[in-house]
Amino acid sequence: MTRVSPSEHSLLTLARAIMGLGQYAPVEDLLRARHTTPARLSPGALRSLRDTLAKGTVLALARCGGARQRRHLSSESSPSRLWERHGPPALRFSVLCFHTLRWLVEQPLAIFGHRPLDVDAPPTLADELFLYLCCRLVAGTPCALSIALQPQFQRSILCRLGFPDLFGASLGRVDAEGFAPLLAEGGWLLEALQDELALRWRRLEESKARLIEPKQLVDLGTAQEQVLDGFLDAVDRAGRRDLAGFVLEALRPLVDQPASRWVSNLSPRASLSVKAQARRAAGASLRALGRMARWDAEHRAVRFFDDGYEGAQLLLSAWASFGEPGFRLASDRERELTTDLAAPVETIPDTLPLPSSESAP
């Protein structure tokens, strides 16, 4: 058994929660309170951390979808698991990972005014996964905003792809070139995270029905569009349209529902023009599906003697369960959201008084 100090134990506990896809509640105290951490780890603690990161990476990738048998353009064989399509990548966690871990433990993330994460290092692919799993741990908790304000997380392309709601629309559009690191080495990381990304994006779409303020919906839709446009450009240029499959999976159960579902809780007090903006923003993912529908039509037009026939057939097969009916439904929903003049809305009840300027003492 390896002996570590209490502060090293805190660091290792958090690392295990992050890499082990753990829940937020058991480590909430570590994230919300201030703790001290050692500047250097003891040899035993360092060994444990390396072990946690190494084994945790394999576990995380397998659980996030890498263990599922799927077909991807990276391999033209029958459905296979991630490690059957790609050789083991040389993963390297940089100093960014260790400093981020220390910062997460040291700073009380639920309180504003704490020290920012001060590490200026470009993330490796392993770091991208680590940062993504950090966001995954704190998403929807009071600590999420502190993480979203840190430049290192804002620069993480995988975090922006998985959690556009966390970062909002203020960061601007992500160019296709920004996704190059994720598409390098055969795009294995994106292949592994297909199920996880589908789950993230489905939850995002489902959360739109709970938003009340139109501005929140506009911010969310804009953030989604900023990321998706660049991502679809990137996978298209790289010849890896299969990596956009998670968008289909995310919206598959939702396109059957009426368009009003996306905007069912918008405040009845808001103006029609603002609500119209919100409705348009709510259809961000549906517009991405419109682009994928055009891809699907291109794949159908590829003849057996054309280049790329096998790839086109693979994509047609992978997207068949969604298919033309699904794309048509998505298009209908998007059109309903953006062009429906008389959308069913709650009328402003007469009994609700306006907030009075004189009501506060």
Q: Which CB sits closer to other proteins, 85 or 279?
A: 279
- The DSSP letter of residue 62 is I
**Distance of closest approach, residue 333 Cβ to other proteins, in angstroms:** 15
Please report, as ranges, the residues that interact with other proteins according to CB under 8 A.
269, 271-273, 276, 335, 339-342, 345, 347-348, 354-358
What residues form DSSP beta bridges with 72? 75
**Distance of closest approach, residue 276 Cβ to other proteins, in angstroms:** 5
Copy the structure tokens of residue 361.
């003492």
* Euclidean distance between CA atoms 211 and 220, whole angstroms: 10
Q: Which CB sits closer to other proteins, 172 or 344?
A: 344
**Distance of closest approach, residue 361 Cβ to other proteins, in angstroms:** 12
CA dihedral (165, 167, 168, 169) in degrees, to 10, reads -130
* Euclidean distance between CA atoms 345 and 215, whole angstroms: 17
The alpha-helical segments, DSSP class H, found in the chain are 6-19, 28-32, 43-61, 82-85, 95-106, 125-138, 144-148, 151-155, 157-162, 164-167, 180-183, 188-192, 194-208, 214-237, 245-251, 272-282, 284-300, 309-318, 323-339
* Euclidean distance between CA atoms 88 and 151, whole angstroms: 30
**Distance of closest approach, residue 287 Cβ to other proteins, in angstroms:** 15
Cβ pair 187, 236 in contact under 8 A: no
Cβ pair 180, 234 in contact under 8 A: yes
* Euclidean distance between CA atoms 234 and 230, whole angstroms: 6
Cβ pair 262, 282 in contact under 8 A: yes
Q: Which CB sits closer to other proteins, 101 or 330?
A: 330
**Distance of closest approach, residue 215 Cβ to other proteins, in angstroms:** 15
Provide DSSP, 217-230. Answer: HHHHHHHHHHHHHH
Q: Which CB sits closer to other proteins, 113 or 355?
A: 355
**Distance of closest approach, residue 292 Cβ to other proteins, in angstroms:** 22
* Euclidean distance between CA atoms 20 and 17, whole angstroms: 5
Q: Which CB sits closer to other proteins, 1 or 342?
A: 342
Cβ neighbours, 10 Å, residue 67:
15
Q: Which CB sits closer to other proteins, 61 or 218?
A: 218
Q: Which CB sits closer to other proteins, 301 or 354?
A: 354
**Distance of closest approach, residue 271 Cβ to other proteins, in angstroms:** 5
**Distance of closest approach, residue 332 Cβ to other proteins, in angstroms:** 11
**Distance of closest approach, residue 341 Cβ to other proteins, in angstroms:** 4
Nearest to 88 by CA among 123, 50, 122, 126: 126
